[in-house]
A and B are shown apart, each in its own frame.
Chain A
Amino acid sequence: MKKIVILSIVSVLLALWTGTLAAAPPKVGGPLSDITLSAPKDSGDKDYLGWGWGNSFKIPEIKAPYVLIEIFSMYCPYCQGEAPNVNKLYAKIQANPKLKDKIRLIGIGVGNTAFEVNTFRTRYKIPFPLFPDADYVIHKQVGEVRTPYFIGVKINADGTTRILYSQLGVLGDVDQFLTQFTSLTDLK
């Protein structure tokens, strides 16, 4: 009887614990976690993402074959320093007719409220959509990575995803990065 009671307690507690555990960091070749984002309010953001959904959406619903996700925080000095470089990457993608409609760039502000994400966006004049993750829900889904962290994802026709790129730290030279990233895609 004693053993059964102890085993039950351990099982329940273990189940509770594993429920709060973070997923592993995004692994190249594997699928992206099932991330849900709130609908952007900005009509430009909606157009950019190919808006056709309700109050929330999932990454594979974005109307482009490739999505590059920056995991950042308004409170992260490296993310602040990297913001102009990521803006430059966006501009390069948009200026390239081969890439313009194929790659979408989004940012997810981990531990940031909507106000904080908007403050970051305003401060650095960020032209692509940013989403708050105030309660670290998405952060847990992507393995609680440090910031900034970049995840490149292929969205397959059947709605499944495959991670092509998964890297901690700043991008470095954006031309080199873009060459490297596109070499992983069929956009070469």
Chain B
Amino acid sequence: MKNHLSRFSGAIGLVILILVWTGSAFALSDAYKNNIYSPGLLKPVDSVLKVKVGGPAPDFTLPAVNGKRVSLSQFRGKKNVVLSFVPAAWTPVCSDQWPGYNMIQDIFDDHDAVLLGITVDNIPTLYSWTNQMGQLWFPVLSDFWPHGKVARTYGILRSDGVAERALFVIDKKGIIRYIDVHNINQRPPLEALVDELDKLR
């Protein structure tokens, strides 16, 4: 009897959690219409960082949606770099985050910083997805093959093969100055990133 009850209430609880989650509100823009897939509520963080604040940012070279290849080291001595890893194209929170950054190129410019957007999706998927965001001023890079190699190097590849929602601020010397491996279900507030960029001055 007790077992039945606890199983029953557990099931009801789960159903409610799912119903509450489906009411959650990201990627609301009519730009996406009904093309956003909701993965449901996920484990907030599902990886272990392999880099740390104060340490060097591992270099990488990845293909960009615009057909070029971009290396982290090409900015060494020239620009601060913000890496914005997002889990996957066509999912709720990710579809919001970059359009927000797209609006504030001036803030990045003021801090002598470039933004690199990275996911583990392939280039055609990223092309279609980012086209819905308008013209992005920053490169979008594909960490698709070898799958999630850069995300794994940084220690932010989740057990299901997508990246965490993570921000890295890297100074001109290539040193990591800020890491936010954010709850994958939520969008990092803009002010937190801007505060960290302010500290680079």
Contacts and interface: CB of A to CB of B under 8 A. Distances in A.
B19 A17 contact: yes
State the main secondary structure of chain B at its contact with A: helix
A129 B135 CA distance: 28
B187 A75 contact: yes
Interface range on chain A (Cβ under 8 Å from partner): 35 or more
Nearest to B132: A77
Contacts of B191: 113, 115-116
A17 B19 CA distance: 8
Nearest to B4: A2
B103 A76 contact: no
Interface in A48-95: 73-81
Given A6-B5, A74-B100, A113-B191, A169 B30 contact: yes
| Of listed B8, B28, B96, B134, residue having the most chain A CB within 10 A | B28
A75 B100 contact: yes
Nearest to B13: A13
Nearest to A136: B25
A111 B96 CA distance: 10
B133 interface: yes
A54 to B, nearest CB: 26
A20 B23 contact: yes
A75 B1 contact: no
A7 to B, nearest CB: 11
Contacts of A168: 30
A123 B99 contact: no
Contacts of A169: 30
Interface residues of B, number: 33
Contacts of A17: 16, 19-20
B29 A16 contact: no
A139 B23 CA distance: 11
Interface stretch (A28-36, A39-47, A140-148): A140-148
A80 B8 contact: no
B12 A77 contact: no
B28 A146 contact: yes
B16 A16 contact: yes
B31 interface: yes
Interface string A145-176: 11110000000000000000000110000000
11 contacts: A6-B8, A13-B9, A22-B23, A74-B103, A75-B29, A75-B99, A77-B29, A80-B134, A116-B191, A146-B28, A146-B29
Given A75-B99, A146-B28, 15 more contacts: A2-B1, A6-B8, A9-B5, A17-B20, A20-B20, A73-B28, A74-B103, A75-B187, A77-B133, A77-B134, A78-B29, A80-B134, A110-B25, A111-B187, A115-B191
Query: When A and B form their complex, which 8 residue pairs have the shortest distance between CB atoms, in order from nearest?
Result: A76-B29, A75-B96, A115-B191, A75-B100, A77-B31, A77-B99, A78-B31, A17-B16
